[in-house]
Amino acid sequence: MKRLSLITLMLISAMFYKVNAQETTTTEKLTEVNDKINGLTERLATAESDLSKLTKIKVSGYIQAQYQYFENPSIQPNNYFSLRRARVKFTYEMTDGVKFVLTPEFVPGNLSVKDAYVVINDRWTKAFSIWAGKFNRPNYEVEYSSSSRELAERSTVIRTLYPGERAIGAKLEYNPVNVPFHFQLALLNGADGIMIYNASGTNLNTTENKDFDNYKDIMVRATYNLQLGNFGGLDFGAHGYFGSLKSNAQKTLSSDYSTIEDVQFGDAVKRNWVGGEFQLFADILGGLSVKGEYIAGKNASIGYSPVAAVGTTAAIPGVANFRNNFAGYYLYFIKNLGKKNQFAFRYDYYDPNTDITGKDVTIAKYTSADATTLKNRVSGKSDLAISTFGFALHHYFDDNLRISLNYDIVQNEKVGSAGLLTEDYTKADGTKVLKGLDYSNVISQNLLTLRIQAKF
Amino acid sequence: MKSLNIKKFAIIAILLGMVGFAFAPATDRITVKGSDTLVILAQKWAEVYMKSNPNTAIQVTGGGSGVGIAALINGSTDIANASRKMKPSEKDKLKARYNTLGVEVACAKDGITVYLHPSNKVKELSVKQLGEIFKGNIKNWKEVGGADAAIKLYGRENSSGTYVFFQEHVVKGDYAPSCQTLPGTAAVVNAVKKDPNAIGYGGAAYAEGIEICKVKKDENSPAYIASTETIKNNQYPITRYLFMYLKNKPTGALKSYIDWILSPEGQKLVVEAGYFPIR
């Protein structure tokens, strides 16, 4: 019995020891796991901190590849594949109040900077922001992203007035928090994308990162968004451009070719215009919109006369500065067709010289004896109005991929007489001029574009 | 290729496309995505509605208000749930893609609730104090009448409508860098449950197992917790509408579902889920 008790005691002791040992092991294990979790938490916090810096950088972009067929016989080759746009946009939001944007474009054979600007938001009222760098000029069609646009290209008047869309300068924006009013005031170099030729046809305005002259241009745009209840909404506004280019000639020709003004090299040749815009959005049959803008004013091109030109030659745009009264507008109709498709129609009209009608223009040799007036002698096809009927159908495979079929029917204003353009001729100075297109008829300039857009 | 053929081809293709795509068939499948604050309620609505409407399939997912609105813009959801208003930049994207301004449907009210650990001595805070705490200017509980301990901040990710609303109406500035962001209100509640020095915010429906902090409009006002009465009487200072956003005016099955949500039956579920009815 004593032996049995002893064995039992020994067994109990052994079990107690084992349990104790197990408890010790479990505690150690728990401590180990706890340490590991603490270590992982610390590493996670570091990783999160690093990651939060990366989330401040946003990368987006798109590629537009296209096939185009030109009906204009003077364009050769008349059909080809090309890369219209290939852009990557980097946005870095350092804090809530400061944003940097850089958008390089990688079209084959040309690497360029489309956007490069910083935006500083006011942290108190949250209504004001200052932009500095290279950014879109304040205008509806210019600021409307190319990746969202319903027709393949912007309308003619916008492409003419704002070549390349962007300009270098500074801008103040006012977007009050609870009022749907938006105001932009920009001070720009103003010569961005404008060609200014010398006598040998070389573009003088090649310093993309500097101004061509000391004159700064002012742009202003104000818009208001009106809610129309269940119907939709109406956005409307106006914009204006007030600027100058430095004269590189000693004559400035008036828009109607009636007067030639003497100017000095370096004088300001003014360019001013204003425009009104509207965008109507209607929640009808899946959504449609009608958008339009009308712009009119006086534009200018810079001549190259190295000396005070005299006689007829002085009055040729290009040799002399030229200030043309112009007008242009566009009107869109856009209709969604289900969730995946969209139809768009646009009529756009641009008259580069409202003082000259087609019948005034004799596209002929400048020194022709049959051109009886100054107007006849120097007006040309650049004075003719252009109207374009554009049709487009888009299919959205998803948010990233869109395929578009676009067809533009382009019609030119007809000239009163084709002059000698329909046959080769020799100028008075002996220069041979080959016959050109017959602008007494509509020149076939229609264009088919099939485009695929990938966006990320 | 002759120019005439190209012209004919283009015009015919565009017209055929218009006709073909104009009559896309409607479906009774409804997708709902967005606000994590609304996800519990949205799931409840869908569950109950599908029982009485078996021909309608409703799929509900969360992700945050920003995610839902982005999905609405890219066409991958029919309804975007949001605990904040749509931003002008989001409206512009909707305009560009669908030519509409979207349709906003206020479907419930919420009182953003401030969560504290039950052991915390602090039981009430003013909106200003909350702002200073989440900005990181008040760092210790003793500064607001609590224990001498560092305040641990928990909040939502910036895609969350609650994050944006709380920032705009309470923080009125940048959140403190030390504010730990968590993916969902449930995660915020869990974090506060485990940490005696924690403070977090989120929808009223999630407030379980934690102390609800009473909130004062200013130092001299009485403190309230979010309740049907205090929200109806505009006494609780951090209230907001919860929204559903649609691309267009709803039709068919979508319209029936929205109408039902706004009906007394749908609004009854709002109360059951811990939120507050719109009327």
Whether B18 and chain A come into contact, CB under 8 Å, resolves to: yes
Q: A336 contacts in B (CB within 8 Å)?
A: 98-99
User: Which ipTM did the prediction report?
Assistant: 0.75
What CA–CA distance (Å, rounded) separates A59 from A93?
A: 11
Confirm whether A2 is domain-assigned: no
Query: CA B22, CA B11: separation in Å to the nearest integer?
Result: 16
CA pair distance A214, A435, nearest whole angstrom: 41
pLDDT at A279: 97
Chain A CB contacts of B103 below 8 Å: 230, 283
Q: What is the pLDDT of residue A186?
A: 98
As a dihedral over the C-alpha atoms of residue B78, residue B82, residue B85, residue B86, rounded to 10 degrees, the angle is -40
Helices (H) and strands (E) in chain A, counts: 5, 20
Give the residue, A240 or A56, on which the prediction is more confident.
A240
Contacts 24+ apart (CB under 8 A), A419-427: A419/A362, A419/A363, A419/A364, A419/A365, A419/A368, A419/A370, A419/A371, A420/A364, A420/A365, A420/A368, A421/A363, A421/A364, A425/A365, A427/A365, A427/A366, A427/A367
Q: Let me know if residue A3 belongs to a domain.
A: no
Looking at the domain assignment, is residue A54 inside a domain? no
Task: Confirm whether B198 is domain-assigned.
Answer: yes
Q: Is B102 in the same domain as B216? A: no
Residue A370 has pLDDT above 70, yes or no: no
Q: How far is B244 from B241, CA to CA, in rounded Å?
A: 10
* Mean pLDDT calculated for residue range A74-81: 91
Residues in B touching A233 (Cβ below 8 Å): 101
Inter-chain contact A405–B10, Cβ cutoff 8 Å? yes
Residue B41 lies in a domain: yes
Q: Which residues of B touch A341 (CB under 8 A)?
A: 17, 21, 24
pLDDT at A120 over 80: yes
Instruction: Kindly state whether residue B232 falls inside one of the protein's structural domains.
Output: yes
User: What is the structure's pLDDT at A419?
Assistant: 53
Answer whether residue A342 is part of any domain. Answer: yes
CA distance B171 to chain A (A): 13
Q: Residue A350: exposed, middle, or buried by beta-carbon count in 10 A (0-12, 13-18, 19+)?
A: buried
Owning domain of residue B58: 26-109+241-272
Q: Which residues are CB-neighbours of A48 under 8 A, at least 6 positions away?
A: none
* Model confidence pLDDT, tens digit, residues A377-436: 556 778 889 999 999 999 999 888 999 999 999 999 887 765 545 566 665 566 666 666
Q: A366 pLDDT band (50/70/90 cuts)?
A: very low
- pLDDT for position A436: 65
Q: Are residues B123 and B65 located together in one domain of the fold?
A: no
Q: Tell me if chain A has a CB within 8 Å of the CB of B8.
A: no
CA-based nearest distance B272→chain A, Å? 31
Q: Domain total for chain B?
A: 2
Tokens of A59: 């990368």
Mean pLDDT of A442-450: 92
- The answer to whether residue A136 is domain-embedded is yes
Name the 3-class secondary structure at A201. Answer: coil
Q: Which residue has the higher pLDDT, A6 or A290?
A: A290
B33 and B84 housed in the same domain: yes
Q: Does the beta-carbon distance from A340 to B249 stay under 8 Å?
A: no
Contacts with A394 (C-beta within 8 Å, 6 or more apart), sequence order = A150, A341, A342, A343, A344, A402, A403, A404
Give the domain CATH number at B93. 3.40.190.10
Q: Which residue has the tokens 């756009």?
A: A348
Residue B18 lies in a domain: no
Q: How many domains is chain A built from?
A: 1
- Rounded CA-CA distance A318/A379 in Å is 12
Nearest C-alpha of chain A: how many angstroms from B273? 30
Q: A154 near A293, Cβ under 8 Å? A: no
Average pLDDT for A38-47: 78
The reply to whether B197 and B221 lie within a common domain is yes
Q: Is residue B201 part of a domain?
A: yes
Instruction: Report the residue of chain A nearest B6, measured CA to CA.
Output: A448
Q: Does B187 touch chain A (CB under 8 A)?
A: no
Q: pLDDT tens string for chain B (279 positions)?
A: 444 466 666 666 666 555 545 444 444 899 999 998 899 899 999 999 999 999 999 999 998 899 999 999 988 899 999 988 998 889 999 999 899 999 999 999 888 899 999 999 999 999 999 999 999 999 999 999 999 999 999 998 887 888 988 998 899 888 998 899 888 888 999 999 999 999 999 887 777 788 999 999 988 889 998 888 888 888 899 988 999 999 999 989 999 999 999 999 999 999 888 888 887
User: Scanning the structure block, which residue is given the tokens 């719109």?
Assistant: B278
Structure tokens at A139: 């205008």
Specify the pLDDT at position A308.
52
CATH number at residue A262: 2.40.160.10
Kindly list the residues from chain B whose CB atom is less than 8 angstroms away from the CB atom of residue A79. 1
Q: Please state, in angstroms and rounded to a whole number, the distance separating the CA atoms of residues B35 and B161.
A: 7
Cβ contact B95–A279 (<8 Å): yes
**Judgement on whether residues B220 and B248 belong to the same structural domain of the protein:** no
Cβ of B13 within 8 Å of Cβ of A448? The answer is: no
Through-space distance between the first and last CA atoms of chain B, rounded to whole angstroms = 66
Rounded Cα–Cα distance for residues B212 and A443 (Å) = 77
Per-position b or e across A115-143, b if 16+ CB within 10 A of its CB: bbbbbebeeeeebbbebebbbbbbbbbbe
Q: For residue B11, what pLDDT is reported? A: 63
Residue range A201-230: mean pLDDT, rounded: 90
The overall average pLDDT reported for chain A is 86
Give B274 to chain A, closest Cα distance, Å.
Answer: 30
Residues B127 and B199 in one domain: yes
Q: Provide, as residue numbers in chain B, all residues whose Cβ is less than 8 Å from the Cβ of A286.
A: 98, 248
Report strand pairing: B29-34 vs B79-82.
Answer: parallel
Question: Residue B74 and residue A392: Cβ atoms within 8 Å?
Answer: no
Q: Residue A307 pLDDT > 70, yes or no?
A: no
pLDDT tier at A369, thresholds 50, 70, 90: very low
Check A95 against B174: CB less than 8 A apart.
Answer: yes
Chain A interface mutation, best of B9, B30, B99, highest count of A Cβ atoms under 10 Å: B99
Query: What's the gap in Å between the CA of A313 and the closest CA on chain B?
Result: 40
A41 or A375: whose pLDDT is higher? A41
Q: Is A423 helix (H, G, I), strand (E, B) or coil?
A: coil
Determine, yes or no, domain membership for A161.
yes
pLDDT of the residue at A130: 97
> pLDDT (tens digit, 9 = 90+) per residue, A122-170?
888 889 999 999 999 999 999 999 999 999 999 999 999 999 999 999 9
Out of B14, B17, B99, name the one closest to residue A281 (CB): B99
Is there a domain that residue A44 lies in?
no
Select from A233, A286, A289 the Cβ nearest to the Cβ of B248.
A286
What's A399's DSSP letter? Answer: S
The answer to whether residue A374 scores a pLDDT higher than 90 is no
Does one domain contain both B142 and B85? no
Q: Is B19 touching A (CB cutoff 8 A)?
A: no
C-beta separation of B112 from B165 below 8 A: yes
Which residues of A fall within a CB distance of 8 Å from B173?
123
In a domain, A243, yes or no: yes
Per-residue pLDDT at A439: 77
Nearest chain B residue to A456 by CA: give it: B74
User: Under a CB-based contact definition with an 8 Å cutoff, are residues A171 and A138 in contact?
Assistant: yes
Of all helices (H) and strands (E), which one includes residue A322? Answer: strand A321-337
For the CA atoms of chain A, what is the radius of gyration?
33
Tell me whether residues A405 and B17 touch, CB distance under 8 A. yes
* Contacts of the segment A304-313: beta carbons below 8 A, 24+ positions apart: A304/A197, A304/A198, A304/A199, A304/A248, A304/A249, A305/A199, A305/A249, A305/A250, A305/A251, A306/A199, A307/A250, A308/A250, A308/A251, A308/A262, A309/A249, A309/A250, A309/A251, A312/A366, A312/A367, A312/A374, A312/A377, A312/A378
Which residues constitute the domain of residue A162?
Answer: 59-455
Whether residue A314 is predicted with pLDDT greater than 90 in this model: the reply is no
Residues B72 and B146 in one domain: no
